[in-house]
A and B are shown apart, each in its own frame.
Chain A
Amino acid sequence: MDLAVHLRSAVALAGRFPALSGVDLDVGLGEVVAVLGPNGAGKTSLLRTCAGLLPVTSGEAAVLGCDLRADRTQVRRRVGLLGHDAALYDELTALENVRFSVRAAGIGTERVGAALDRLGLVGRLRRTPVMRMSAGQRRRTALAVLVARAPQIWLLDEPHAGLDADARALVGSLVADAAASGAAVVLTSHEPALSVPLADRVVVMRGGRIGETREGGRGAGGEADRFLVAVGEGDVGVA
């Protein structure tokens, strides 16, 4: 399996403070990795490091074969990050936001309509300025950006947050489709019940390090339930 993410003893800084304190992680193309852990464990920092937004100060760090310390610009073009914040322009509509992101990435706009359809942003909703949308609709628009851009690595920070049941199910199918198309997916979550069944592998973070790695539940059916019992929600600090 080709590696999408390769971190070895990676240390990354958020400002002047260490956000990752020696992380070892390999993620293959077509693989889904769920990252669990309590607040402040370093989950978001891990995603931001993989996206080339946080500087790596020591250790090995490569994304899609590009050294994160030498060529962060190349990395950024090839990853898609769904952060806590939607990263949308309030005055622009869903259609305009997605179209801008796709054009910025230098790819054709032919996938924009299909991406908005997939996320249920149809009719007048796609021509509504984002500032007039609900939190869930904004989240859907941000996901539509990812679908339209089709990055080689999907970095999803709590993708289920603020979504209704239908949209949560949609996130599951988007993750599965991305992995099936050969993209790597790294997602963080406070909800193991939602994230573990989607993942090939689950890693648990604490204090900026990866403490434990287990098989995930993707394609394993009932194995996912056994995993949830084994990890234990209290063990990963989930409220």
Chain B
Amino acid sequence: MWRDALLVAGKDIRIELRSRVALWQVLPFAVLVLVLFGFALGPGPRALRVAAPGLYWLAVLFSTVLATQRSMAIESGEGTRDGLRLSGIDPAGVFLGKAAAVAIQLVAVQVLLGAGIVVLFDVHVQTWWLALVASVLATVGLSAAGVLYGALSAGLRVRETLLPLLVLPIVAPVLISGSRAWSAAVSGAVASGASWLKILGPFAAVYLAVGVALYGPLQEVA
């Protein structure tokens, strides 16, 4: 399963590096979300600093939808979905590989957004470990949930519009927990921030487990 996951992740990342969809669409989109929400909140530096963690995670969530759609589109080419089913790759490996490739793109998005909130909103993180752990757990949860629901909608004609409707409500706990954990990391309130990790951790674990178990059947019906 792990060998298959590495193979699929490597393939997806190679395709992304060559098509540059993440570079030219997902990253600019994430920055645009951050800037537009900043405009909407007005020039007050205090309001921007308070809202920054929420805006950051909102931009990450929207980027997750785009990255997941792209990940599923890779397998919607002429016969490629059948090719993957016939390849002999463990479906759990396909799930983990695709989730890993999406997660790598989300890490790139978060690095850019992190720099964005520092530059645009003058936000400085006090407790780095808390912000990093929250980001890692949230990234795993978002990529796992995104790929799982991406597989669910893959065979449908309305998949592009259905995926955000499926994913965004499901990942609301990540938005809330990630924002609160980052707010705590910015203010240095470690105790209150750490409690939000108790939601992010199980969320990631549950979606990883469900994805490993269900990706095969979903691949068959899609």
A residues sitting closer than 8 Å to B (CB atoms) are 51-53, 73, 76-77, 79-81, 83-92, 96, 100-101, 103-106, 129
Contact = CB atoms under 8 A, between A and B. Distances in A.
Contacts of B79: 83-88
B11 A89 contact: yes
A38 B14 CA distance: 41
Contact of A87 (B15, B74, B83): B83
Contact of A129 (B18, B74, B88): B18
A90 B77 contact: yes
Interface string B82-101: 11011111000000000000
Interface string B162-202: 00000000000000000000000000000000000000000
Given A86-B78, A104-B7, A91 B19 contact: yes
Query: Looking at chain A's contact residues, is the secondary structure mostly helix, strand, loop, or mixed?
Result: loop
Contacts of B11: 89, 92, 100
Given A85-B79, A100-B7, A91 B15 contact: yes
Given A89-B77, A91-B15, A104 B82 contact: no
Nearest to A90: B77
Given A91-B15, A92-B11, A96-B14, A76 B85 contact: yes
Given A86-B78, A86-B79, A89-B80, A76 B86 contact: yes
B7 A91 contact: no
A104 B88 contact: yes
B160 interface: no
A90 B87 CA distance: 17
Nearest to A51: B86
Given A53-B85, A76-B88, A103-B7, A88 B80 contact: yes
A79 B4 CA distance: 19
Contact of A105 (B14, B15, B88): B88
B216 to A, nearest CB: 8
A92 B14 CA distance: 8
Contacts of B19: 91
Contacts of B77: 85, 88-90
Contacts of A79: 86
28 contacts: A51-B86, A53-B82, A53-B86, A76-B85, A76-B87, A76-B88, A77-B88, A79-B86, A80-B86, A81-B86, A83-B82, A85-B82, A87-B80, A87-B82, A87-B86, A88-B77, A88-B79, A89-B77, A89-B80, A90-B77, A91-B15, A91-B19, A92-B11, A96-B14, A100-B11, A103-B7, A104-B88, A104-B89
Q: Which of A52, A89, A92, A129 has the most CB of B within 10 A?
A: A89
